[in-house]
Amino acid sequence: MNMLRWLCVVAIALAMTGCIKVDQTLTLHQDGSGTLDMRYGMSEQAIAQVEAMEKMGQAMQEGGGEGLDMEADRPFDLDFDENKVREEFAAKGLEGVELVSATSETIDGWRYMEIKVSFEHLAALKQTDYFDGSELSLSKDAEGNYVLTQRSTDHESSGEAEETDPQMLEQMAAMFAGMHIANRVVVPTEIVETNATEIDGRSAAWIYDIEQDPTILNQLQNFDMRVVFSSQGASIAIP
């Protein structure tokens, strides 16, 4: 998956139809189990245009061309059909993870999807598609604290982070005006250290708002999130 590649194409569809909003919260309990809550939204007009572009890309591929496989390149599963989400989740037969709920709604021309997943341990959660293109891991540091990280794996082959031309970023930033992505992690004990943009008690948040900083697109492409929390009061098995 290449997030920026996907965003470049979607920008064409979103330029005149609104943008995207994503809010994700990973909650980790004292025993290593937890929940993943996601809410994302796009304007219905943008969804229709993106779906049309996906069909065009598929038709080009079926005809022997080099159409972009936008569905495969999505940075996260932006499906707004709750029945389809349930069916696809059930078909995978994953162990240790359960789709608790999947609901959609339309508000003022925007379609929103809310998904809640529970998991017995992080290894089970990592079986899902929600972390494609990134590596989620839990370890312990020298002091015995837990270290939770999520890093982009888009550049593992080259070993280097990609940087997009500043002029291109400015152009894309204009197209994505209003894009807001919030990634939150709630840990069971005291936060010792984190590179989060916001901290509230045991909650660490990485907020990506393109209107405040157009370089956010590069940060999303090369994201590296880290939160260290105390092991006192928690008993989580490290594989």
Predicted local distance difference test score (pLDDT) of residue 78: 64
Q: Is the pLDDT of residue 77 over 70?
A: no
What strands, in cross-sheet order, belong to the sheet with 134-140? 134-140, 146-152, 224-229, 191-194
Compute the CA torsion angle 128, 118, 20, 165 (nearest 10 deg).
-50
How would residue 194 be classed by pLDDT, with cut points 50, 70 and 90?
A: very high
Cα 187 from Cα 189, distance rounded (Å): 6
Predicted local distance difference test score (pLDDT) of residue 223: 78
Q: Is the pLDDT of residue 9 over 50?
A: no
- CB burial readout 30-65, b (16+ within 10 A) else e: eebbbbbbbbbbbbbebbebbeebbeebeeeeeeee
Question: How do residues 40-55 score in pLDDT, each as one tens digit?
Answer: 888 787 777 777 776 7
Higher pLDDT, 206 or 64: 206
Q: What is the pTM of this model?
A: 0.77
- What's the whole-number mean pLDDT along residues 62-68? 58
According to DSSP, the β-strands at 20-28 and 180-186 are parallel
How would residue 220 be classed by pLDDT, with cut points 50, 70 and 90?
A: low
Q: What Rg value do the Cα atoms of the chain yield, rounded? A: 19
Q: Which of 14, 34, 33 is nearest to 24 (CA)?
A: 34
Predicted local distance difference test score (pLDDT) of residue 213: 67
Predicted local distance difference test score (pLDDT) of residue 20: 77
Length of the chain: 239
How would residue 136 be classed by pLDDT, with cut points 50, 70 and 90?
A: very high
Q: Which of 6-10, 32-36, 79-83, 169-173 has the lowest average pLDDT? A: 6-10
